[in-house]
Structure formats: C-alpha cells, structure tokens
C-alpha cells in the first residue's frame, strides 16, 4: 500500500537534456491552471475554451503559412500524425492503402500504422539523415494515401526536402503530411522550405507543448482543406454540437488555453529570440564535444547528436543527467528553451570528469 | 486579428448540468498544477510522474476489483474504449473482426470502429435502456473480437447485465470490455454487478476526470492480463524505455498526478459520500420534474432524463443553463459532484417560470 508515503517532487528541469517538453511560459502556465476543468470537446457547454481553440488555430496558421487553417489543438504529435494518416486513408479509393515515410520518421507512424491497419513503407535516409528522395519515389504507388516528410527529426533535427516529397506525393495523387511537431516553432526563422506556403502540403503536426513553450498536452493538427476534417468527423448524439473530428472525446482545456497564451506571448518575436538562443546553445555544445574528440552531427536545428561510448553515457545518467540515445546509440541532447548555456557547461564539466 | 482582445473567463460550473466533467478536488488541482510540464510517456526522464501513474493504477485496481491491474492513465474514456477494441482486434485470429455493443454505447465506439477499421454491430436496448441480451447473442459470431457492456450509460445512466454479456463473449471466445468511464466511481457503492470481481471482464474504461474529481485529462484503461498491453506495444527507439502501449506519445503529467491525488483523497469514503449526495440530488430532481408532469426516466445512477418540449429546452439554455439532450431529444441532467441541491432548485425555479 502506497498511500501516505512521501513521493518524489515533480521533475526539475536543470538536468533534463533528452526531452522535447520544456518549462512552460509563465502566462501559459497561468492560463492552463485556470482551465484545468474545462473541455473543448464540448464547445456548447464550454464556449470560452472553444473560442480560445479557434484563436490558437488561427495563430498556428500564421506560423505555418495558412491564411485559413482547418484544425484543432490535439493531445500531441502522435495524435496529429495519426489523424493525418487516418484522413488520407479515409479519403483514398484503395482498400489497402500504404504510407511512405523516411526511416527517420517518429515511431508514432509505427503506432498509426498498427492502429489504422495501413502498411508503413520506410525509405532509407541519405548520408545526412534526410529522406532519400529517390528511395521515397521508388516506394510510392497507386495505393499510397500519404507521403510523410519530417521538418525537424526527433533524432538528428534534420529537415526533409519537403517540396521534392510533395512532387512525389502529387505524382501518385497522395497527400503530403509534414511532421513539424518539434521543428515548427523554430523553422519560421530559418531558410528551410517546410511550410504550407513553401509547398503543396496537405496536413501538418506542430506541437505547442514542445518548442512552443505550452504545457502538456498541446499538439497541433492543421490541414489546408476542410475536407480533411470532414473525413474524420463522427456524429455526437448527446452533445449540442453535431460532429467531432478529434481522436479524443473529452479534451484538455488547460492544453488549449495554455497553447493560446504561449502563442500570444511569444509569436513571433519571442520565438525568434528563443530560436537564436537555443540554436546558439546547440552550436556551442557541438563545438565543445567536437573539441573533445567526439564525432558530432552538425546541429542544423537546436539538437545535438554525438557518438559516445556506453560506459560514459551510463556514468552521465548516474550523475542525474536526463540524456537519451538514438536508435544507433548516439548521445542526443535537445536544446529546449529550459536548456541554458550554464547547464551545458555543467554537463561538459561532468563529461570532462569522466576522463 | 484577435490578439489583445478581452476573452471570456473559464466556464463557471454554477449552471453546468450537461457535462460529465466537474470541478476537481482541491488536492487534485494542486497536484496537476505542479506536474503541468511532465510527461509520463517518457518514464526514464520523468520518474516521479511514472511512479505516481503506477500508484494511481493500483488504486483504480482496488475500485474495479483487480488485485494486479495492468493499465495506465489514458487521455479519457474514448482512448480507453479504443484501446480495448484495438487490443482485442490485434489478438484475434480473424482478418475482419467485429465489435458487438448495445445501441446505448458511447459514440467513441463509432470513432474506434472508424479508426481501427472494424465493424461495429449495435444491439437494441430493452424497454429500460439496457443492452438486450438476446439481441447481443444474435449479433456475435466467430469474428467477434469483443463484446461491450456499459456500466453507467451516457444518456440514461443504465448498467448493462455484465455477467450475461460475459457469458455471451466467452461463448465465441471474445473479450468482454466494460465501459465504466462515468459509472466506475459510483458503482462500488451500489449492488450492481459490473466489476472484474463480478464477472470475467477483460478490460475496462474508468475515468478519474469524470466522477473521480480529477482534472482533465485523466482516463483509466485497465486490463486483467498483461497480454492486453503487450498487444498494444510499439517500440520506442529514442526513449530509454523499450515499448509504449499507450495511444498517445507525450502524455499529461498533470492528469496522472491529479488522478492520484483525487484517488488518495477520496477513495473510498469520499467517493461513497459523493455517491450518496449525487444520487440523492438525482432522485430529488426526478421527483420534482415528475411532480410537474414531465415524463422522467427513473435515475438508477446520478443522471436524470426527462421528456421536455424543445421550446422549453431552448428557453432554459437561453437562461444560461448548460443542458443537453439524448438522441431521442430527452432533457439530460448529470448530477456531477459540483451540482448542488441549490443549483437544482434554481433550475426548477426557471422551469416554473416558463409556465
């Protein structure tokens, strides 16, 4: 029996280097706390949070280059990716559809494939961890419902060639989905082609609760056309609204209100400053690790990967550092907003102490 | 452009009669606020919230009659219902499985059927809004993966004959899933047969964020056997854990910590007192409506349904009452913990003022 025992306090972020979550913006935390008991899934009962959701989607539209965005605040990137595949599957003519994604795609596409009963075809990445366009072109066929491009991969922070992937998708009459769950709040300040304005993208995942500094759970699912949401709609007999396109039923009002508050506080100048700071931190860490002889992957976005022997990795975890590894066992440090230059210097001190 | 405009405050609950959400217990609200930035989906980075999730599942096990429960805190009842169908589908031999549920089942089963690509067969209810056992028996066959029973229906608060439905499921080697998303926190104090202890139930939905007084999002997905979660597991390459059975990836630490706090504060005595109070309120409202000539469905659990002309319903909504209707247009009032006798008296005053 566990009742009455002392429990550990919530995670402090001063040694968290592995997470794509972060400390929320103060305004977002305050808004989330005020809306903990509301449900945007029932807009006729909770109109104030439903209004905030419309405003949050409009602001997300500005970020991703859509003047009339269709979408909603999802539970996270997994839901947004799954819903993109589901909408494409539901609109496809074929009985047995497939999804073509780079091998660098997040494991939520494995989950979506199992849940939705579709075939997931993974194309190898090129020597710089981006989708290999020729390999993607080889895998698509008439049963391909959606091609996935990643704008900020989970393991290496790489941006796939979105316009080229869009051409391939168009060639087989498939949707193009962009997973910008992590990258979407930094990419507007780079030269990458990734958005609805840069290519004929159909759907996108972009998570306020990652680089957007919103509290969990706040993902974003956005679509260019209203037909995408229509393809997801289920009738809702006992609610005073008619249909529901979301994967969840009751949803987090805290996530919606928190997302809107962080967007209002930070878009665009706050996010621009955050990008410059976090990118600078990633370049600092990469240079320091390289100077110590580690093989480092160039940080195109604020994420550093570097080869590190397992014994060193484990010793750093024992020092309390929350670090993680890629599938090929490279150390992976995500330079989220809470990761300061001082934290990285302290981490490097502990790396040096291993020698 | 909406930035800078004044916005409506969060929903007050003093006129909310339609929702299955409620004001959280103060301890649950406090715990949720402390965990807004944590992610139980990444237990190696956030061990404190992962520990709380294990404790919450153990306490839910006590409520539902499972000494070794397998499960997790889901985003809500929709996820729990979907995961029950997904696990049963994944473990079934058949290529094209079906799900048999009463017509009173929540619309999340329609959603699950669309998402998962399974056939949903709906059996009519009997004269008292419960699953018609003979009709369910007629619909099952060798391709039935799961039979659904509802323990506290969304529209009428009815409890299906769970042991009889379990017999039917066993006869075709199908799972039995019980949707106690709303009813699970009141049924322990009634004589109904509904739990894992009462019948060979395989899986259950029970939502702390409904009658459990936890903040949103906090659902519960529970299974008798570990194989159920195994059937849902997806590999997680870049996390320091190995697999993930949940539908979401990043999940709400606030929901987990809030659920545990409400369970610790209220199980069992607080929930028993809550049941007695809310049930008493439902019986009061039912009697008062009947005395005014409305045709009222006997409130077996704390939920009242009554026929009401559309003009009256709309007039009451215009007075600010958050009320909703069943699919057959009956007024539906859910006597959640925040619904007081004084609120119901004020509502009845407004009903009287319509005359």
CATH of the domain at A255: 3.40.640.10
pLDDT class for A6, splitting at 50, 70, 90? low
Distance (Å) from the alpha carbon of A347 to chain B's nearest alpha carbon: 16
Only one residue has tokens 């059996």, namely B123
A288 has a chain B CB within 8 A of its CB: no
Residue A242 has pLDDT above 70, yes or no: yes
Closest to A313 (Cα-Cα) out of A17, A13, A12:
A17
- Same domain, residue pair A124 and A239: yes
Residues B167, B137 contacting (CB under 8 angstroms): no
Residue A43 has pLDDT above 60, yes or no: yes
Residue A248 has pLDDT above 50, yes or no: yes
Strands A296-297 and A303-307: antiparallel
Q: Is residue B277 part of a domain?
A: yes
- Same domain, residue pair B176 and B135: yes
- Same domain, residue pair B154 and B257: yes
- Same domain, residue pair A255 and A119: yes
- Mean pLDDT, chain B, integer: 95
* A116, closest residue in chain B (CA to CA): B116
- Average of pLDDT values for B191-210? 98
Q: Is residue A291 part of a domain?
A: yes
Residue A237 has pLDDT above 90, yes or no: no
Structure confidence by residue, pLDDT tens digits, A327-336: 889 999 999 9
Task: Kindly list the distances between the CA atom of residue B103 and the CA atoms of B120, B131, B184, in Å, as whole numbers in the listed order.
Answer: 10, 8, 20
In the prediction, which pLDDT does A192 show? 98
Q: Is residue A232 part of a domain?
A: yes
Structure confidence by residue, pLDDT tens digits, B17-32: 999 999 999 999 999 9
Distance (Å) from the alpha carbon of A31 to chain B's nearest alpha carbon: 9
CA dihedral (A267, A270, A274, A276) in degrees, to 10, reads 100
Structure confidence by residue, pLDDT tens digits, A284-323: 999 999 999 999 999 999 999 999 999 999 999 999 999 9
With contacts defined as CB-CB under 8 Å, which chain A residues touch B86?
114-115
A217 and B248: CB-CB below 8 Å? yes
Among A residues 131-150, those touching chain B with beta carbons less than 8 Å apart? none
Q: Is residue A16 part of a domain?
A: no
Query: What's the per-residue H, E or C state across chain A?
Result: CCCCCCCCCCCCCCCECCCCCCCCCHHHHHHHHHCCCCCCCCCCCCHHHHHHHHHHHHHHHHHHCCCCCEEEEECCHHHHHHHHHHHHHHHCCCCCCEEEEECCCCCHHHHHHHHHCCEEEEECECCCCCECHHHHHHHCCCCEEEEEEEECCCCCCCECCHHHHHHHHHHCCCEEEEECCCHHHCHHHCCCCCCCCCCCCCEEECCCCCCCCCCCCCEEEEECCHHHHHCCCEECCCCCCCEECCCCCCCCHHHHHHHHHHHHHHCCHHHHHHHHHHHHHHHHHHHHHHHCCCCEECCCCCEEEEECCHHHHHHHHHCCCECEECCCCEEEEECCCCCCHHHHHHHHHHHHHCC
CA dihedral (A108, A109, A115, A120) in degrees, to 10, reads -160
- Average of pLDDT values for A46-58? 96
- Same domain, residue pair A260 and A274: no
- Same domain, residue pair B193 and B341: no
Specify the range with the lowest mean pLDDT, choosing from A3-7, A168-172, A213-217, A226-230: A3-7
Specify the range with the lowest mean pLDDT, choosing from A214-228, B1-15, B51-65, B86-100: B1-15
A77 has a chain B CB within 8 A of its CB: yes
pLDDT class for B58, splitting at 50, 70, 90? very high
- Same domain, residue pair B33 and B134: yes
d(CA B33, CA A136): 44
With contacts defined as CB-CB under 8 Å, which chain A residues touch B52?
7
Q: Is residue B84 part of a domain?
A: yes
Option in B34, B116, B215 nearest A10 (CB): B34
In the prediction, which pLDDT does A4 show? 45
- Average of pLDDT values for B38-67? 96
Structure confidence by residue, pLDDT tens digits, A259-291: 999 999 999 999 999 999 999 999 999 999 999
Residue B86 has pLDDT above 50, yes or no: yes
Q: Is residue A185 part of a domain?
A: yes
Residue B3 has pLDDT above 50, yes or no: no
**CATH code, domain with A299:** 3.90.1150.10
d(CA B236, CA B242): 6
- Same domain, residue pair A71 and A49: yes
| pLDDT more than 70, % of chain A | 97
d(CA B128, CA B217): 32
H or E segment and range at residue B50: helix B47-64
In the prediction, which pLDDT does B6 show? 60
Q: Which of A264, A279, A298 is the last residue of a domain?
A: A264
Helix, strand, or coil (residue B296): strand
pLDDT class for A240, splitting at 50, 70, 90? low
Task: Kindly list the distances between the CA atom of residue A249 and the CA atoms of A1, A296, B82, B334, in Å, as whole numbers in the listed order.
Answer: 33, 44, 11, 17
Structure confidence by residue, pLDDT tens digits, B115-169: 999 999 999 999 999 999 999 999 999 999 999 999 999 999 999 999 999 999 9
- Average of pLDDT values for B178-186? 98
Residue B268 has pLDDT above 60, yes or no: yes
More confident residue, B243 or B8: B243
- Same domain, residue pair A172 and A319: no
Residue A241 has pLDDT above 90, yes or no: no
B75 and A33: CB-CB below 8 Å? no
pLDDT class for B327, splitting at 50, 70, 90? confident
In the prediction, which pLDDT does B2 show? 43
With contacts defined as CB-CB under 8 Å, which chain A residues touch B79?
247-248
Q: What interhelical angle do B253-266 and B47-64 show, nearest 10?
A: 40
A248 and B75: CB-CB below 8 Å? yes
H or E segment and range at residue B306: strand B303-307
Q: Which of A218, A238, A264 is the last residue of a domain?
A: A264
Q: Is residue B16 part of a domain?
A: no
B235 and A107: CB-CB below 8 Å? yes
Structure confidence by residue, pLDDT tens digits, B237-260: 777 678 999 999 999 999 999 999
- Same domain, residue pair B176 and B113: yes
- Same domain, residue pair B341 and B310: yes
d(CA B156, CA B173): 30
Mutate which of A3, A5, A9, A11 to test chain B, going by most B C-beta atoms within 10 A?
A11
Distance (Å) from the alpha carbon of B69 to chain A's nearest alpha carbon: 14
In the prediction, which pLDDT does A104 show? 97
- Same domain, residue pair A195 and A335: no
In the prediction, which pLDDT does A1 show? 37
Structure tokens at B105: 């089942």
Question: What number of CA atoms fall less than 13 Å from residue A284's CA on the CB side?
Answer: 17
Structure confidence by residue, pLDDT tens digits, A107-155: 999 999 999 999 999 999 999 999 999 999 999 999 999 999 999 999 9
Domain interval for residue A244: 24-264
Residue B301 has pLDDT above 50, yes or no: yes
Structural domain total, chain B: 2
Q: Is residue A11 part of a domain?
A: no
Q: Which of B236, B264, B292 is the last residue of a domain?
A: B264
């Amino acid at each position: 029996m566990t009742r009455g025992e002392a429990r550990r306090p919530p995670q402090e972020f001063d040694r968290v280097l592995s997470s794509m979550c972060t400390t929320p913006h103060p305004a977002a935390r305050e808004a989330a706390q005020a809306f903990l008991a509301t449900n945007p899934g029932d807009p006729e009962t909770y109109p104030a949070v439903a209004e905030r959701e419309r405003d949050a989607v409009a602001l997300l539209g500005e970020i991703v280059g859509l003047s009339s965005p269709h979408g909603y605040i999802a539970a996270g990137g997994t839901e947004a990716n799954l819903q993109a595949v589901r909408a494409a599957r539901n609109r496809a003519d074929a009985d047995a559809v497939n999804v073509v994604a780079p091998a660098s795609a997040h494991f939520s596409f494995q989950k979506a494939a199992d849940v939705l009963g579709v075939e997931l075809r993974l194309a190898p990445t090129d020597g710089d961890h981006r989708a290999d366009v020729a390999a993607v072109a080889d895998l698509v066929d008439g049963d391909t419902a959606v091609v996935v491009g990643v704008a900020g991969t989970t393991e290496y922070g790489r941006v796939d060639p979105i316009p080229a992937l869009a051409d391939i998708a168009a060639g087989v009459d498939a949707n193009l989905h962009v997973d910008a769950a992590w990258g979407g709040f930094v990419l507007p300040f780079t030269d990458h082609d990734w958005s609805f304005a840069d290519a004929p993208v159909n759907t996108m995942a972009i998570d306020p609760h990652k680089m957007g500094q919103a509290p969990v759970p706040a993902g974003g699912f956005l679509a260019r056309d209203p037909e995408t949401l229509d393809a997801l709609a289920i009738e809702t007999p006992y609610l005073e609204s008619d249909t529901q396109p979301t994967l969840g039923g009751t949803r987090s009002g805290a996530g919606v209100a928190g997302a809107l508050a962080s967007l209002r506080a930070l878009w665009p100048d706050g996010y621009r400053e955050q990008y410059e700071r976090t990118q600078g931190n990633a370049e600092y860490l990469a240079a320091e690790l390289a100077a110590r002889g580690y093989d480092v992957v160039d940080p195109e976005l604020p994420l550093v990967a570097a080869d590190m022997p397992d014994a060193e990795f484990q010793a750093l975890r024992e020092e309390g550092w929350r670090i993680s590894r890629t599938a090929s066992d490279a150390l992976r440090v995500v330079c989220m907003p809470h990761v300061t230059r001082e934290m990285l210097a302290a981490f490097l001190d502990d790396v040096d102490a291993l020698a």
